[in-house]
Amino acid sequence: MYYFDTEIRVRYGETDQMGYVYYGFYAQYYEIGRVELLRSLGISYKEIENAGYALPVVSMQTNYKSPALYDDLLTVRTIIKKKPLAKIIFDYEIYNIQKKIINTAQVVLVFVDMKTKKPCLAPKIVIDKINHLF
């Protein structure tokens, strides 16, 4: 298992009329966490794409426990629990400044060969950086 924490401050434009973060922005928070976790391992999305692979999201499950509000400082904990094969699964826990979990999620992405447009095994550039964690 490996996790990485990323801090995000809620911007005014991310809130709805009630002052809560609009539900659609959580997917962006997950993406930010995912990109930063990979970067912490020395992997970038750009590098994966330049190697000829895409990582489309195929599943997302979200649980809203408490609202996030304008100007809240959130911690997005992104977790990889299993070694990726043809898919990579990211789990998320979002905490407010009081360290209370306000949101949990799981997002599944599949490795796709950009030439064939078909799912494939995780590329060597990803496996080489992640294998030592498991």
Residues annotated catalytic, as ranges: 16
Which of 127, 125, 119, 103 shows the shortest CA–CA distance to 30? 103
| CA 96 from centre of chain | 17
Q: Which residues contact 127 (CB under 8 A, 6 or more apart)?
A: 83, 84
